Amino acid sequence: MITLYGVARSRASRPLWLLGEIGADYVHVPVIQAYRLADPDAAAEMHTASQAYLAINPQGQIPCLTDGDLTLTESMAITLYLATEYGGDLGPRTAAEAALMAQWALHATSAVEVPALEIMLAQRDAGSTSAGAATVAVAAEKLVRPFQRLEGHLAQHPYLVGDRFTVADINTAECVRYAQGHDALMARFPALSAWMKTLQARPAFVQMFAQRNAEPA
């Protein structure tokens, strides 16, 4: 049985979206980030710093997945595993496709995720202060090159790998999403923006995002 640990307001959104696409049976344990609790030591629920969770993932981060004897951390490893093992055409058909899916996952985490998160957090926490605006401007500049790469590909292809929707689209879109509040940046990349709109209209994304939004902020 597949068990996924991690609230939807976290990188667990990636495997949650994928599991919805697959239609797989799984147990969801909504482990919350300890820093989001007022008093983690007094919390009854499992959180990232609780002993019960550290016994499952000693790194104390979410998401984490168990499937039989396998325990996996790192959201992208989790989605790539689920797609390969259970996802049919959501996963790779060939070794070359597996390599391309790994390529896009690494591109997303190494080039997109951090600056995109900086934009989301600065927009949320610093609002329109000058410090917030400066952080957003620097982060947006860092995204230009990886977004140009995605734009070039998506102007020629409907999806990232194999001209069909796959785990590669989920992994990259979930990193790009953090920067989506930057309207001026997104407007510079029309093919990327149109691809995001198509992906986010998928029922499994809509369901995952509703679940995420139903959780306390």
Ligand X SMILES: N[C@@H](CCC(=O)N[C@@H](CS)C(=O)NCC(=O)O)C(=O)O
Which residues, at least 6 apart from 61, have a Cβ–Cβ distance to it below 8 Å?
48, 73
Residue with tokens 């926490």: 125
Of the candidates 102, 113, 130, the one whose C-alpha atom is nearest the C-alpha of residue 178 is 113
CB of 22 or CB of 62, closer to ligand X: 62
Distances (CA, A) of 46 to 5, 8, 52, 54, 198: 10, 14, 7, 10, 35
Which of 3, 24, 30, 33 forms a contact with ligand X (CB under 6 A)?
A: 33
Cis bond upstream, residue 115 (ω within 30) = no
Task: Please work out the total of residues on this chain that contact ligand X, with binding judged by CB under 6 A.
Answer: 12
Interface with ligand X, residue 57, by CB under 6 A: no
Residue that the structure tokens 């667990």 belong to: 12
Query: Which CB atom, from 34 or from 43, has the smaller least distance to ligand X?
Result: 34
Residues 59-118 that bind ligand X (CB under 6 A): 60-63, 74-75
**Closer of 113 and 151 to ligand X (Cβ):** 113
Tell which one of 4, 5, 8, 11 touches ligand X (CB under 6 A).
11
The smaller minimum CB distance to ligand X, of residues 75 and 166, is found at: 75
Q: For binding to ligand X (CB under 6 A), which residues are involved?
A: 10-11, 33-35, 48, 60-63, 74-75
